[in-house]
Amino acid sequence: MVWLLLKTLGAMPRAVARFVGARTAAFLFFLRPGLKDAAVENLKLAFPAWSGKQRHAAIRGMVRQLGWMGAEFARFPRYTKSSIEGAVLLDGFENFAAAQARGKGILFLTGHMSAWELAPFAQALFGNPLHFLARPIDNARVDRLVTNYRCLSGNRPIDKNQSARAVLKILAANGTVGILADNNTLLAESVFVDFFGIPASTTAGLARFALHTGAAVVPGFLHWDKDIRKYRLCFEPEVELSRTGDDTADIRENTQRFTRVIENYVRRYPDQWLWVHRRWKTRPPGDPPIY
């Protein structure tokens, strides 16, 4: 089913594929009312002053973005360095280059914005392949297919369950590791920091790697710019790290800084973030569940 959908969308002209992808996403979303309920609840938590109309507009935009990402993903075998420029514009690449020149590796801080699968794929086509953390998909055939598409531009996966040694080796060689840092995280692997003013269980791994290796943490986010009809892959200056000598405090403070960067992007483009994810599911011990 996944193979057939990718092949079908990939064979279409891009505009048609994006239209079909958006309609398909809307239909599948309609079939899963629980996803809409989760999105509405998350939006109420993040933007309590919003009206129902505002929330539903953001959800429609999110679903459209997901459909467009499916179409773009299906076209990965057709994209080249020259053709990707028609879909993605690099913005602020000097920030990435400056961090790369330091020679200690880059931790690419990103999140589930817009067509997030396109961000590392385009970056590799532009000449800067990276390694990305990913958990294997339960269906082995689908996992092989998706991994193959992700790696067509030169990127390489790191099993998220066995990542520490591999990440350290890559950073020591001045490589780049992409980390999606906006997921709810298991209690044993996380620290609680504010996300939209609500404590959120957030991966501590990014801060640990950065403090241990001296690698630059460079925010990079993809968003759809309707004015130019392209995606913008925007790199910001590396995040300045807190280094007080108190490891526990530094990990929490730096994780908060990373999360603040993500929140700022979500606030700027609220219709392009993945609201269906139960971001505040894990609670501090003793706190009642939010959902």
The HSE-up count of residue 167 (CA atoms within 13 Å, CB side) is: 25
pLDDT-based confidence at residue 19 (cuts at 50, 70, 90)? very high
Q: Which tokens hold the place of 164?
A: 């520490």
Strand partners, 195: 198
Q: Is the pLDDT of residue 173 over 90?
A: yes
pLDDT over 70 percentage in the chain: 100
d(CA 124, CA 130): 7
Q: What pLDDT, on the 0 to 100 scale, is given for residue 169?
A: 95
β-bridge pairing 216-225 and 106-110: parallel
- Convert the pLDDT of each residue in 177-231 to its tens digit: 999 999 999 998 899 999 999 999 999 999 999 999 999 999 999 999 999 999 9
Q: What is the pLDDT of residue 275?
A: 98
More confident residue, 137 or 211: 211
- What 8-state DSSP symbol labels residue 281? -
Q: Using only C-alpha atoms, what is the Rg of the chain?
A: 19
Question: Identity (one letter) of the amino acid at 15?
Answer: A
pTM for this model (two decimals): 0.95
| Residue 190: both structure tokens together | 């996380």
* CA 41 – CA 21 distance, rounded (Å): 25
Are 284 and 274 spatial neighbours (Cβ–Cβ below 8 Å)? no
Amino acid at residue number 108: F
> What is 68-127 written as a DSSP string?
HHHHHHHTGGG--HHHHTTTEEEESHHHHHHHHHTSS-EEEEE-SBSSTTHHHHHHHHTT
Q: Residue 189: CB partners within 8 Å, gap ≥ 6?
A: 203, 204, 205
pLDDT at 61 (0 to 100): 98
Query: Helices marked H in the chain — which ranges?
Result: 2-11, 14-31, 33-46, 52-74, 81-84, 93-101, 118-125, 140-150, 164-172, 205-213, 247-268
The correct answer on CATH 3.40.1130.10 for the domain covering 86-272 is: yes
Q: Determine the residue type at 31.
A: L
Stretch 155-179: mean pLDDT, rounded?
92
Given this model, what pLDDT does residue 134 score? 86
CA distance 288 to 281: 10
Query: Which of the four pLDDT bands, split at 50, 70 and 90, describes residue 5?
Result: confident
**Cα–Cα distance for residue pair 215/168, rounded to 1 Å:** 10
SS3 category, 156: strand
